[in-house]
Amino acid sequence: MTYSETVQIKQQPSTFYRWAVLIFVSLAMFGNYYIYDSIAPIADLLKSQLGFTDTNIGSLNSIYSFAAVFILIVSGPIIDRIGVRLSILIFGTICSIAALITFLSSELYVMLGGRLLLGIGAEPLIVAITTALAKWFKGKELGFAFGINLTIARLGSFTADWSPTWASASYSNWNEPLFIAFLIGLTCLVGGIIYFGMDSYAEKNYQLGEASETDKFVFADLFKFDRSFWYIVILCVTFYSAVFPFRTFAIKFYMEVHGAERELAGQLNSSLIFASMIATPLFGLLADKIGKRASMMMLGSILILPVYLLLVYSGISLIIPIVMLGIAFSLIPAVMWPSVAYLVEQNKLGTAYSIMTLIQQLGVFAFNYLLGWANDTSSASAANPEGYALGMWILSGLGIVGFIFAYLLRKNELGPNGHGLEKGIGKL
């Protein structure tokens, strides 16, 4: 080998450079999550100042999920065609524009258009960033990198829930908090620009791995998954449909039913996110150690069962049902998503996760709208806090369905057709 051939060999990027890439690309996720969760803190203002109904408010999040269902089907091929770094830049820009549109007008249909655009941009952005991480991190680092990325993303939700505290002066009207969401949402664009530059530089100067193939929806594979997988899918849709639509109205609920100040109501809503940022990785490690994954999902389902009825009927401290929901919100996802890898062949995982996400978004779409409708039908308000009971019964019904399928999953896994979900890491 000649000297000229030697100097042309590219080195691996430094550890600092790779983790800097992770931080900057995660900024886009931070902004994405903040924009999505910026509606809940102003739900009561939209109703009192713009005359929105709870059905209208629920639709602002429902329409996001509606868009996500369709864009998830085609996002993989789009990202494959235009490349990961350009995809992150384009879809991050769409998210920022969506926040601007939502802020600019008090007309419901304009705001719905902004939230629809957010769904079109946000879900492919998440897919593209996931693909980018697989390019920059390998082996044992990959799981930790994903964990840091998710923590930064959820910090966006946490910051949005706390915005009535750190930006309390802006909550005298509905549009100032949405302007803040637009400004913070610019991190979607900024993160995309910085990642584009860092990845372009690295491609010329460093030796990088290949990005993994993006998840694609393969319809024929629907018929190749067994009973345990479908039990998990149903548990997934009932769990997320019970949690995220509640979060849409939670701040308004805490204010009107329990008399909480807006700042405290936002902090209570943020506790679910805060708990998941800390406890989800710990529950994942616990599942790896002891197994009992189906049992842990059933335990999480049991915790959800009384939560919503305690919130609306019981005189006990709010802390108890919120802690119960926080544990379930940390426990079930930590075990549920990795469990799919035990049930599905490696080359079918992309389709499996796509199916789960699609059906999850359909459920969140339906129940955001349904919960708003229930509140309107029962005239739920500060003057009539009992009106929230119908929506809480609907969410509790979802909890019952989730528990039934968690039980069926455990029963199936303990039988001859089990996949090892109940076994610890040392027994696999």
* Residues 263-281: tens digit of each pLDDT: 999 999 998 888 888 887 7
pLDDT score at 349: 67
- In this predicted structure, what is the pLDDT of residue 424? 57
The CATH superfamily of 21-216 is MFS general substrate transporter like domains (1.20.1250.20)
SS (H, E, C) the chain: CCHHHHHCCCECCCHHHHHHHHHHHHHHHHHHHHHHCCCHHHHHHHHHHHCCCHHHHHHHHHHHHHHHHHHHHHHHHHHHHHCHHHHHHHHHHHHHHHHHHHHHCCCHHHHHHHHHHHHHHHHHHHHHHHHHHHHHCCCHHHHHHHHHHHHHHHHHHHHHHHHHHHCHHHCCCCHHHHHHHHHHHHHHHHHHHHHHHHHHHHHHHECCCCCCCCCCCCHHHHHHCCHHHHHHHHHHHHHHHHHHHHHHHHHHHHHHHHCCCHHHHHHHHHHHHHHHHHHHHHHHHHHHHHCCHHHHHHHHHHHHCCHHHHHHHCCCCCHHHHHHHHHHHHHHHHHHHHHHHHHCCHHHHHHHHHHHHHHHHHHHHHHHHHHHHHHHHCCCCCCCHHHHHHHHHHHHHHHHHHHHHHHHHHHHHHCCCCCCCCCCHHHC
76: its two tokens: 């993989």
Say what the pTM is: 0.84
Nearest CA-CA partner of 334 in 324, 326, 345: 326
Q: Which residues of the chain form CATH 1.20.1250.20?
A: 21-216, 218-428
For residues 341 and 362, is the Cβ–Cβ distance under 8 A? no
* pLDDT of the residue at 382: 92
Ranges under pLDDT 70 in the chain: 1-10, 138-143, 207-222, 346-347, 349-350, 424-428
User: Can you name the CATH fold of 218-428?
Assistant: Growth Hormone; Chain: A; (1.20.1250)
- Model confidence over 314-328: pLDDT tens digits? 778 888 999 899 888
